[in-house]
């Protein structure tokens, strides 16, 4: 009972404390992975004494919270899993133009005015070797009869990177919509976001994820799951995760320090430890890097709504 009382008091106290931002705090709204931001936050605190308040969710949830808070913004730094967020926010003038000294070794296509990549994920084929299917080498292999009813794909409406993949593939002549038509004919399913697509493959209900987020699967493989990450020969898309300081930030100095920290050797090593590709080209990682991959580009003018509508129609998820 005493515990409950204490808790209630704490709850009531929470009513009063809100919004009292202190100078030695920086607030980060970030998409996953959770353990990355946790280690970045504690490392940053150790180095600078500045506390990092973290709100971590999916990109969608992060954006919804930002939007709802628009009248009374809380976040200093936003880390998204979708590059579009950065370009849009920059275009809307919502970003503080900050160019970190540590960003010198970040390739130009991974930074812009006010934003810079934290790390990069790529989409891949995640294959369960125990599934009794042959090892696929490319996207189009999965239309083969051997994979009938054994392929899953993250829903491009729920996963920004999966959308990028659809957009990139459908601008290719030899791949394009015919590939997706064939995959649909081969009974590929689109069960939900990234985790929902991977799970049935881990248990063996399905054999392959078409467009798995590579770092998640690499991490699971490292933990002993029977899953192999294959980067298709014809190329794939990458999803750089942009960091940005919001113009509404009241702790801009601390925010700049945090960006510097993420791009430092230490910070980038933490990024690499989660099996993401580091943003800096001079930081090593125990995985395939951008230079090892054939990157497909996405036409920035592609019509997102139309692409999604066509995709959903093919897979009967309207």
DSSP output for 200-246: HHHHTSSSEEEEEEHHHHHHHHHTT-S-EEE--TT-B-EEEEEEEEB
The DSSP letter of residue 294 is P
Our CB check for another protein shows the closer of 202 and 285 to be: 202
**Binding residues among 74-93 for another protein as defined by CB under 8 A:** 74, 82, 84-85, 88
The answer to whether 237 and 161 are in contact (CB under 8 A) is: yes
Among 78, 106, 183, 189, binds another protein (CB under 8 A): 189
Within positions 278 to 297, which residues make up the interface with another protein, using CB under 8 A?
A: none
Considering only residues 22, 23, 47, 61, which one is a binding residue for another protein as defined by CB under 8 A? 61
Residue matched to tokens 């009248």? 71
CB of 83 to another protein, least distance (A): 11
CA 97 vs CA 86, 160, 201: distances in Å: 12, 25, 43
What minimum distance in Å lies between the beta carbon of 35 and another protein?
Answer: 7
Please state, in angstroms and rounded to a whole number, the distance separating the CA atoms of residues 122 and 229.
Answer: 11
Residue numbers 99-158 binding another protein by CB under 8 A:
128, 130, 155, 157-158
Closest by CA position to 263, among listed 111, 123, 109, 121: 111
Q: What torsion do the CA atoms of 308, 310, 314, 318 make, to the nearest 10 degrees?
A: 60
Instruction: Closer to another protein by CB, 182 or 221: give it.
Output: 221
Give the DSSP letter string of 265-279: HHHHHHHHHTTPEES
Residue placing its CB nearer to another protein in the complex, 219 or 240 = 219
Q: How many residues bind another protein (CB under 8 A)?
A: 77
Among 55, 87, 260, 307, binds another protein (CB under 8 A): 55
Q: Considering the complex, state which of residue 72 and residue 291 has its C-beta at the smaller distance from another protein.
A: 72
3-class SS at 140?
helix
Residue 4 or residue 101: which is nearer to another protein going by CB?
4
Site track 199-238 with another protein (rule: CB under 8 A), x = hit: xx-xxxxx---------xx-xx--xxxxx-----------
Between the two ends of the chain, the Cα-to-Cα distance in Å is 51
Among 2, 46, 49, 72, binds another protein (CB under 8 A): 72
Map the footprint of another protein across residues 29-48, applying CB under 8 A: 32-35, 38
């Amino acid at each position: 009972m005493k515990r409950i009382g204490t808790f209630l008091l704490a709850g009531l106290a929470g009513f009063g404390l809100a919004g009292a931002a202190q100078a030695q705090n920086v607030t980060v709204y970030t998409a996953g992975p959770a353990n990355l931001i946790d280690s970045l936050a504690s490392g940053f605190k150790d180095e600078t004494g500045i506390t990092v308040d973290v709100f971590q969710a999916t990109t969608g949830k992060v954006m919804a919270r930002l939007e709802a808070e628009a009248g009374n913004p809380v976040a200093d730094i936003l880390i998204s899993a979708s590059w579009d967020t950065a370009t849009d926010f920059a275009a809307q003038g919502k970003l503080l133009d900050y160019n970190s000294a540590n960003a010198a070794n970040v390739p130009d296509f991974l930074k812009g005015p006010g934003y810079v990549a934290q790390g990069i994920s790529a989409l891949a084929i995640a294959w369960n070797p125990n599934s009794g299917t042959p090892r696929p080498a490319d996207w189009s292999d999965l239309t083969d009869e051997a994979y009938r009813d054994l392929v899953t794909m993250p829903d491009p409406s729920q996963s920004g990177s999966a959308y990028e993949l659809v957009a990139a593939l459908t601008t290719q002549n030899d791949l394009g919509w015919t590939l997706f038509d064939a995959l649909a004919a081969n009974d590929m399913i689109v069960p939900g976001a990234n985790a929902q697509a991977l799970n049935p493959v881990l248990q063996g209900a399905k054999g392959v994820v078409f467009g798995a987020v590579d770092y998640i699967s690499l991490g699971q493989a490292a933990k002993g799951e029977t899953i192999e990450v294959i980067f298709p020969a014809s190329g794939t898309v990458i999803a750089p995760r942009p960091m940005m300081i919001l113009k509404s930030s009241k702790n801009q100095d601390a925010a700049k320090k945090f960006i510097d920290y993420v791009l430092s050797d230490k910070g980038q090593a933490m990024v690499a430890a989660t099996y993401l590709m580091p943003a800096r080209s001079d930081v090593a990682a125990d995985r395939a890097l951008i230079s090892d991959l054939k990157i497909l580009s996405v036409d920035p003018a592609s019509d997102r709504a139309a692409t999604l509508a066509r995709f959903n129609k093919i897979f009967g998820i309207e």
